[in-house]
Structure 1
Amino acid sequence: MTIGKYQHEFHGLPVFDFPGARADADEDAPASTPLPDASAVAWRISAPTYSEPGDELWEPLFERFLKTIDPARVRALVVGGWDEAYETSSAPVVEALIAARDRLTDLRAVFLGDMTGEDCEISWIVQSDVTPLLAAYPALREFGVRGGTELAFPPIRHDGLETLVVETGGLPAEVVRGIVGSELPALANLELWLGTDTYGGDSTVEDLAPLLSGTGFPALRRLGLRNSVIQDDVATAVAGAPVVARIERLDLSMGVLTDVGAAALLDGQPLTHLTHLDLSHHYLSEALRERVRGALAPHGVTVVLDDAQEPEDYGDGELHRYVAVAE
């Protein structure tokens, strides 16, 4: 499965597409919708990934955006596509955002790479080192990025960041180590899509050790380790992880979770303190599903077990299981 929809809400704000110029625009089309107040929406700035002559590219579109609205009142930005995102990295986009930091003085949230599969498959999106963007905006509270190719995240300290979401079809181990090795004292919500080694997701549970030990991220309350081909290993590690004692919402969805991982999770430390456990897109038997519900639902834990999957048998002697989002 691929990403099929754009974000419609970000940082608690509705997403509004800032209009870009297109070569195929209809000159007789009705006038565009009036622009909202600068602080009332999360502004989506997106250019065609497969551009044609006459299309407005991302950097000039962004500069026009800054001249059209009051940048000092912008609270959230969603970066969509940029020209040839399947070959060209996000580095120029990151540099443009950094260069605008003296104008975007109230910016609190950025999402980088809001593209569907029609724009650019998640595993094709070429990212870059995104930590200079965080360094340039010390008041940033929420940051999200989609795409793991060439993504870099060396360890960084950021005192304000509260939410970090990294969506990939394969998250490199080096990036995982950089994230969990960062100093993020305000981080309350962390979501990592670990993916599959087919698309660069070569991390192991050992790479997650600083996170699972509970020694970092003292404010962490919501943890998502999602979309993983090693979901059984992750669940087994989480079962004994000290960090879980202070987690309120645990998300192990979208991955290749089987009865082995779910049983290990239930046989580990108590999870009855959770308010929410998401195991959707799973490969659990009905018996294990009932066991999970029976162990947690009576304690008030909301348990999500939607989107049950069946392994594929291609006649090669193996059963094949897949993460929810890969290519």
Structure 2
Amino acid sequence: MFSESLPSTAPNADADLSHQSEPFRRIATEIGHVLVGQQQLVHRMLIGLLTGGHLLIEGVPGLAKTTAVASLAKSIQTGFQRLQFTPDLLPADLIGTQVYRPQDQSFVVQKGPIFSNLILADEINRAPAKVQSALLEAMQERQVTIGGETFPLEEPFLVMATQNPVEQEGTYALPEAQTDRFLLKVIVDYPDREEELQILRRMSKTAPKFEISPVTSPEEIMRARSQVDNVHLDPKIEGYIVDLVMATRRPAAYGLNLDGLIQFGASPRASINLALAAKANAFLQGRGYVLPEDVQELALDVMRHRVAITYEAEAEERTSESIIGEILQGVAVP
């Protein structure tokens, strides 16, 4: 069993990890001054911040998706840009363009709003594909090319995109090549009754005011990222991650009866991102090693947008979430 081979972790090492993760607990507390509930969303945003992985946040309008991301940005002393995606947005509006200067008869680069640290791509699926694709190089390569010249983006660089469900009118489904660039896809649901009462009492004012103070810096975030790299990932856990991803491609090899339900399985990015997210989850809990529970907690958010189901699955009212849940039940845990 995995529990028999846990790495020996000295108490002072655990204390150091707890100290290193303290800024992220401060961020969560600060966001809580504005946001009611949505602890899972806040936790996933912190994992994205720790790993440098981009987030796709989906939910119907009015669930505070934009508020959550804006609050995260305010709690960090760093650059922030909100981009409202619309059908008439152009790629140049995002990355910038070359501008002619008649006084010296030359072209100069005018950088776009993508040149910041935290980018809120609000309602990303309301823009056409050519604008969505303009994010690809920035998200994957951490650089932007304008007029044949390449400009690196300053770290930390993180895109958090919100979208309404694709069945909503006036939206465009994101292509698979772009959704695969997102570390996590987080589904935001309605608040429960108690949370809704808190929202009503807090927000039912003509001009509600909330102050969020910066509680950490980009330097602290980058230091924490280096600590995440040192979180121990046991070979058994590595094998477990690979088995979960492989089961989305060849479920029969794992004794799963999912024939005809999966159009294509998760890409190798799923394995990489699940390992990174599990390490970040362990770090946030002050642990220097990954447990199977870390992998299980994040597997759905890592893979739901990477597993495409068939028409037969839709006819049976199956979803990628239910199929991934069956895989989590069927693959042996170390």
**Band of TM-score, shorter chain:** under 0.3
Which structure has the highest helix share of the two?
A: 2
The alignment's TM-score, normalised by the length of structure 1, stands at 0.28
Q: Which has the higher contact order (CA 8 A, sep 6+)?
A: 2
The alignment's TM-score, normalised by the length of structure 2, stands at 0.27
